[in-house]
Amino acid sequence: TPFEARLYAVCKCIPAGRVSTYGALAEVLHSAPRACGQALRRNPFAPAVPCHRVIAASLNLGGFNGSWGAACASVQKKRRLLAEEGVAFDDAGRL
């Protein structure tokens, strides 16, 4: 969709080793954080569109690939991808 294309373009601007929030992306796009989350959940272009660099406003990892919670394999993958880029989280998964 046109919204997804704009979102993916903005997401691609997040450099390796840095993160943004769903809310920050939504503000840039004049949208809602949940709309951004839903679109990134369906992102078929990862890792070229680095949706793993988008975290929750609480600075927790948030979800990944439609899963939520630190115990989920996909969220653990998100944490691993970010760690490989130099992003550090505490034991609770908070930035």
- What pLDDT sits at residue 45? 94
Mean pLDDT within 9-36: 97
pLDDT digits (tens, 9 = 90+) for 32-74: 999 999 999 999 999 999 999 999 998 988 877 766 676 778 7
Q: In the numeric block, which tokens belong to residue 79?
A: 């944490």
Nearby residues of 82 by Cβ (< 8 Å), 6 or more positions away? 19, 52, 53, 61, 89
Enter the pTM of the model.
Answer: 0.90
Beta bridge partners of 64: 67
Q: Please tell me what DSSP assigns to residue 52.
A: G
Q: Point out the catalytic residue in the list 11, 13, 36, 51.
A: 51
Is 51 in the active site? yes
Q: How many CA atoms lie within 13 A of 93 on its CB side?
A: 19
Ordered by where they begin, the domains of the chain are 2-84 (1.10.10.10)
